[in-house]
């Protein structure tokens, strides 16, 4: 059952309570490999369900537009100090509702409509808010992009420098949503300095690895850092902006009143708890274990003939190009979901297929590491992935033989996970 128990919800709205219980059961029984997901602790769950959700708090601590902020101000200051201490940043803003508004605040702080932004192209691993033509950031600003080399699947910093010198962007963004290799923040900083650009490091995916010492930090290199607070950081669905003191005022004004009203105080509470958890020595072990699991899974998939973009991973994330398997990412993702393995279909660099039916899969090791899975479990996981992909290649998912094989894998997955507890669920 769901933990904390949903006693009052079950009495007031049995239908919603039933759905919450079903979701908890589903999360317990699935190997969750979506790279942007994780399990928060029961403490974070409790924090996000507190009476802080009742309070409206436009403004910042000590400078609010509503009364009754005596406690909320303490909470927000606590989250800010924990963020600054954990990452070694001079300034932190914990109010952004999610990663996209956080990134938009950076544009608002430093850019005018039509200014040039240089970022990783979305099909190469970037993010919608990094200047994609379907995003406001691609419509209001002038996007230019770098990518990866086709022969290596990696960013060549000489290419980035050449584009930056030619395009003279106002903003350079390092980071993205599907980058399996270490980001060279120092090299990006040198290019930004040479071209007079502001450097934004988007570490949404790797914030937990940075906090745990498993990935180099952008602090000391980037002018501004954006991050979500879930993913590898293992907090609630929210975001933060870190910056040098020089840019603190511009960032704060861009978040409020530039883009948002009152912060979600219950989320701030959850962020504060997650930051305290990330400051513990055990979190460094967790961050290292994420990378070890991802690399062990990569090795096991390579042994089974899967084509990994860049040949492997340095962090939590893997990209699989299924072209050599004769199956699309969308079909494979749906088959894997039926087999108890949850991930997402994804474009791969130089993909010839459309984004909603691409050639690849994206997967991450953060959630399974939180559950307690270790490197010795990765060969079995790779085997289940292979069985599901091969089954899907034999026919439609409702074919009796295909469905039987996927059900068999799902049963083996449940048997394994039964021994690994999940925060937020108990039997």
Q: Hey, which residues are catalytic here?
A: 56, 58, 202, 228, 231, 237
Tokens standing for residue 248: 């603190």
Identify whether the C-beta of residue 174 lies closer than 8 Å to the C-beta of residue 157: no
Residue 258 structure tokens: 């530039």
CA dihedral 123, 129, 135, 136 (to 10 degrees): -150
Reduced to 3 states (helix: H, G, I; strand: E, B; else coil), residue 398 is coil
Q: What angle do CA 182, 204, 142 make, to 5 degrees?
A: 90
Q: Which residues contact 112 (CB under 8 A, 6 or more apart)?
A: none
| Residue 393 is assigned to a ligand binding site | no
| SS3 of residue 224 by DSSP | strand
Rounded distance between C-alpha atoms, residue 336 and residue 355, angstroms: 19
DSSP labels for 307-356? EEGGGS-SSSEEEEE-GGGT--HHHHHHHHHHTTEE-EEE--TT--S-TT
The CA-based dihedral angle spanning residues 180, 92, 79, 28, taken in that order and rounded to the nearest 10 degrees: -20
Cβ contact 149:204 at 8 Å? no
* Residue 363, helix vs strand vs coil: strand
Task: Look up residue 83 and give its two tokens.
Answer: 């963020």
DSSP state of 419: T
Query: Any binding-site annotation on 126?
Result: yes
CA distances from 128 to 26, 125, 166, 174, 393 (A): 29, 10, 23, 14, 31
Q: CA 334, CA 413: separation in Å to the nearest integer? A: 16
Q: Residue 178 in contact with residue 362, Cβ under 8 Å?
A: yes
Report how far residue 79's alpha carbon sits from residue 89's, in angstroms, rounded to the nearest whole number.
Answer: 13
Consult the annotation and say whether 45 binds a ligand. no
200 is an annotated ligand-binding site residue: no
In contact, 262 and 32? CB cutoff 8 Å:
no
Show the CA angle centred on residue 392, arms to residues 386 and 397, nearest 5°: 140
Distance between CA atoms of residues 242 and 252, nearest Å: 10
Nearest to 270 by CA among 49, 89, 68: 49
Q: Is 247 annotated as a binding residue?
A: no
> How many degrees, rounded to 5, is the angle at CA 30 between CA 388 and CA 232?
110
Q: Binding site: which residues?
A: 122, 126-128, 245
* Residues of each annotated binding site for (6S)-5,6,7,8-tetrahydrofolate: 122, 126-128, 245
């Amino acid at each position: 059952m769901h933990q904390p128990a949903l006693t009052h919800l079950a009495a007031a709205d049995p239908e919603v309570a039933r759905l919450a219980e079903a979701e908890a059961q589903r999360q317990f029984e699935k190997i969750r490999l979506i790279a942007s997901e994780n399990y928060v602790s029961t403490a974070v769950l409790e924090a996000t369900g507190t009476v802080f959700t009742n309070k409206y708090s436009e403004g910042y601590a000590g400078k609010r537009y509503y009364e009754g902020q005596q406690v909320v101000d303490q909470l927000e200051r606590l989250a800010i100090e924990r963020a600054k201490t954990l990452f070694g940043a001079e300034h932190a803003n914990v109010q952004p509702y999610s990663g996209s508004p956080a990134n938009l605040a950076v544009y608002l702080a430093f850019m005018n409509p039509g200014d040039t932004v240089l970022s990783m192209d979305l099909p190469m691993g970037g993010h919608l808010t990094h200047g994609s033509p379907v995003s406001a950031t691609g419509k209001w600003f002038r996007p230019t992009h770098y990518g990866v080399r086709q022969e290596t699947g990696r960013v060549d910093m000489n290419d980035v420098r050449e584009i930056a010198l030619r395009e003279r962007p106002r903003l350079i963004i390092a980071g993205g949503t599907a980058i399996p290799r270490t980001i060279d923040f120092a090299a990006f900083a040198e290019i930004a300095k040479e071209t007079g650009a502001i450097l934004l490091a988007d570490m949404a995916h790797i914030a937990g690895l940075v906090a745990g010492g498993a990935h180099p930090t952008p602090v000391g290199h980037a002018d501004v850092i954006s991050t979500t607070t879930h993913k590898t950081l293992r907090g609630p669905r929210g975001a933060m902006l870190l910056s040098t003191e020089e840019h603190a005022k511009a960032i704060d004004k861009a978040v409020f009143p530039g883009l948002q009203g009152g912060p979600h105080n219950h989320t701030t509470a959850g962020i504060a708890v997650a930051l305290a958890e990330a400051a513990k020595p055990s979190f460094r072990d967790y961050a290292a274990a994420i990378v070890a699991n991802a690399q062990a899974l990569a090795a096991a998939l390579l042994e089974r003939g899967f084509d990994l973009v860049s040949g492997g991973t340095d962090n939590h994330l893997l990209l699989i190009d299924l072209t050599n398997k004769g199956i699309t990412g969308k079909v494979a993702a749906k088959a894997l979901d039926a087999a108890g393995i949850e991930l997402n279909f994804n474009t791969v660099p130089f993909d010839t297929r459309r984004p909603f039916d691409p050639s690849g899969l994206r997967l991450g090791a953060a959630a399974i590491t939180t559950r307690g899975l270790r490197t010795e479990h990765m060969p079995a996981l790779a085997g289940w992935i292979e069985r599901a992909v091969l089954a899907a290649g034999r026919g439609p998912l409702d074919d009796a033989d295909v469905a039987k094989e996927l059900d068999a894998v799902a049963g083996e997955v449940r048997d394994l996970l039964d021994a690994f507890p999940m925060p937020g669920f108990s039997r």
